[in-house]
Structure 1
Amino acid sequence: MTIGKFSSQQVLTEILKAAMGLCGYALKWIHADKISSEKKLVLDDSFPPDKAVDFILLLKVALDTLDKAPLEDHHLASSTKQAVAIVMNFSTIEPQAIRDVWLPKGHMWKHVDTIFGLFKDIVYHVVDTFSDDNNLPSVIADTYQAELTPLMLVLVRLVSEHPDVREHLFYKVYPKDAIDFAVLPENRPGMAAKLVRLMRSPDSGPFSVSTITGDLLLALLGNDIRQFILTVGYGNAAGYMVARHIEIPADIIEQVRESSSESGAVNPVTGRYWSQEDTNQELANMTDEEKEREAERLFVLFERLNKTGIIKTANPVCAAAESGRFEELDDCD
């Protein structure tokens, strides 16, 4: 359908863009007492309950847009991007009228499943296409950050504010009896492994894809840090924990000492059964490029841990290089 020289999607995009601009002005006015000229609105500066109902029709239109707008070659349509930006301005829990829009009676998961479905499609495409690419962090930052981060922020809010939503989405990420501790978390089939791969990416800003992915996984696991580490492995979680200044639970460290000889126990560092650990065999199966990428990731990780004071130890990558255990490869190798 066209309207004059413009398609209906273009018209909808411009209308939503204007609505988003009005939201921004309204929020600045509502939160004027705590916003200085230097401070910008943040995620928590959403419409307060007594003001949100004045914009309830806009929330309905934005959520309906998300339900109806398909992805365009694994990217959000322009109208969808504007709709996501609008719904980020609303709490999902209060007042009751707003809650009922997010979770409509008789079709409670309609909007939740739509948002998760959009997110899942993009994640699968990104990880399956670029997971073996050295440039994965830059590909995400340049092309997908502006799409993935808002979707995840909305999902984190839904999961954090509604136990029912958390349980519903938990089983979409971790289907019942599907967590195989004989396999590394990042190598398991399904959505959970792809999120772990996104989380272990080296970018670590507060709103980077890797950090918000960690927020989502932690929220899905009930904000239980111990369960989070056991499920994704500390090696995968460490960068996120540094970015969010989360300390390692003391009982996790004790578990590493006590359970390494138990075949049925999970190694918190890798997220896999101790009995399945065979580092030498894993290294033998890795290509030189994979070894180099893993060394780079470990180097960055240990540098961050040392700087934040979480640990104080020699960087094993530097130590290995200084001891001559690393071999320089020619470009042709």
Structure 2
Amino acid sequence: MASAGSTEKSRDIEKILNQLEADLAEPPPAHDGLLERLRSHITRPIGLGPLSTKRGISVLLRYAFDSASSTSNRSARRCLSNVLLLVPASRQHLADSEYVGHVVNAMKSEDLMDQLISARILFLCTFVTTFDFEALFEEHHISGIINTTLSRYSEFIGTGPSSSRHGPSSIMAACDEVLKLLYTLIAKHPSSEPLFSSSVTPVLKLFTSFSLASPPLQPPISSLINALSILPLPKQSDNASGFTDLFPESDSHIIVDRLDNILLSTIESSTPSDLDAQISPLIQSLLRIAEVAPANLKTHLQSQLLPSSEDREKVLGTGDSLPMRLLRLTNVPSAPHLMELIPALLFELSDKDPRKLVQNIGYGYAAGYLASQSIKLPEDALSSASDRSRITELPEGEDELEGDIPVNPITGQRLDREAKVEIPEMTDEEKEREAERLFVLFERLRATGVVDVENPVAQAAREGRLEEKA
């Protein structure tokens, strides 16, 4: 049952809408006062029935894009944006109208508020509608407009606030809306990804130019990271100019260092329920960079994200460094995307070599990922991991080890740091039960396909190394 307040609100909206519709002309006249009064009503979904109909959206569209008054059309666009946000069912009326092209063209405006509102309207219409994405790209050329718009933002930031016609806060707000639209278009229409290659360099420039808040994952940084996680990064083999822009010779570490810092800060501040949503874009961005990074940058990524010799003082995953925190996140059931993305990133940093992955993070963390990807582990992987590991930084005073330290292949901990465990002498019956248990466990492991070696218990029995009781 509607309250008296919502009924009165609906009546006033109907009255305003009737007057706006009655005054429609070519072009519609200025109605700044009426439109502002209407906008004051659009704060909650209750009572918006008259505006959310095909008729209501049509009237708003006429004033938003056909009015000769710049103040009236901007007020109407704000009304339209708010209705689309509060009443999702109204979005299909715009998606079916002939005004989609008008909304796209409004993004070409030099005014940041026009760009912001237009991008927000398009963004909202990509949800809960049967939106014609093909027309958006082929007829209205939305990708080129977004590429150009982001390039302008990066130029504004590059010249500094004092020499720009717009304050940085205005650029940040408009940039955030355009980036959200870009991400959604690629996510919902994957074939469009190559069309946004020109946005890579501006996105990276903006990402390294905007200051970080606390916590750092706030607009537009969060939207820049989302865009970076889905944009087509240039490969070195492409010999594209975008590649040198992405990894300049002078300082190729600034991007990944900022990502790493944000990642660590976000892990420390996130709740278990937020981990997947907040951290996955960061890991995805690092993975995409690792896939195309030149040797020097990949080495830097390895030093930042793979366990160091200091980490191996303990069982891997028990420390507080960034690599140790990442390993722990692979075992968080509430973050299923991270359980896939983090091992994929570490596998990429291990040159996609299962032997190196085991050496880098231990078999305990590597086994699940290798099994899920149907990647078989070489027969000597565990033994070679116990002999040598990828450790390039030695603790102070240990130069004599010359960079290679034996580690436990399962836990990744240095063998010389493992606690000595006193194992009580076993009776013959206990030894027999333990041999049977190991036999069963090893056969189950072989069945996964991760390892392909002969069961050592069966081998010992065949070679006569097991004694039968009399």
TM-score, normalised via structure 2 length: 0.45
Q: Is the 8 A contact 2:276 2:334 kept in 1?
A: no
SS at match of 1:187: coil
Residue 17 (structure 1) shift: 2.2
CA distance in 1, matches of 2:250, 2:183: 29
Comparing both chains, which one has the higher relative contact order based on Cα–Cα distances under 8 Å and sequence gaps of 6 or more?
1
The 3 A distance-change label for structure 1 pair 26 and 247 is closer
Q: Is the 8 A contact 1:199 1:237 kept in 2?
A: no
Residue 307 (structure 1) shift: 8.5
Matching residue of 1:17: 180
CA distance in 2, matches of 1:257, 1:107: 36
Residue 179 (structure 1) shift: 4.1
Q: Is the 8 A contact 1:159 1:219 kept in 2?
A: yes
Residue 202 (structure 1) shift: 4.1
Matching residue of 2:395: none
CA distance in 1, matches of 2:375, 2:334: 17
Residue 70 (structure 1) shift: 4.5
CA distance in 2, matches of 1:222, 1:258: 20
Matching residue of 2:314: 183
**Which structure has the bigger radius of gyration?**
2
CA distance in 2, matches of 1:203, 1:241: 21
The 3 A distance-change label for structure 1 pair 150 and 273 is same
1:89 pairs with 2:221: no
Gaps of 5+ in 1: 31-45, 131-138, 282-301, 312-333
1:200 pairs with 2:331: yes
Provide, for residues 94-119 of structure 1, a one-character-per-residue CA deviation record: whole Å limited to 9, x for no partner. Answer: 35122122123533333232223322
Matching residue of 1:115: 259
Residue type of the alignment partner of 2:263: F
Gaps of 5+ in 2: 1-111, 118-168, 389-404, 423-441, 452-470
- Equivalent of 1:240, from 365, 369, 372? 369
Matching residue of 2:345: 216
CA distance in 1, matches of 2:406, 2:186: 51
Q: Is the 8 A contact 1:119 1:151 kept in 2?
A: yes
CA distance in 2, matches of 1:70, 1:250: 50
The 3 A distance-change label for structure 1 pair 70 and 197 is farther
Matching residue of 1:38: none
Provide, for residues 47-87 of structure 1, a one-character-per-residue CA deviation record: whole Å limited to 9, x for no partner. Answer: 2xxx55xx42x323322332234554435113223222323
- Equivalent of 2:290, from 156, 159, 162? 159
Provide, for residues 189-210 of structure 1, a one-character-per-residue CA deviation record: whole Å limited to 9, x for no partner. Answer: 52221121112334685xx112
Matching residue of 1:267: 408
The 3 A distance-change label for structure 1 pair 174 and 24 is closer
More displaced stretch, 18-27 vs 81-90: 18-27
SS at match of 1:89: coil
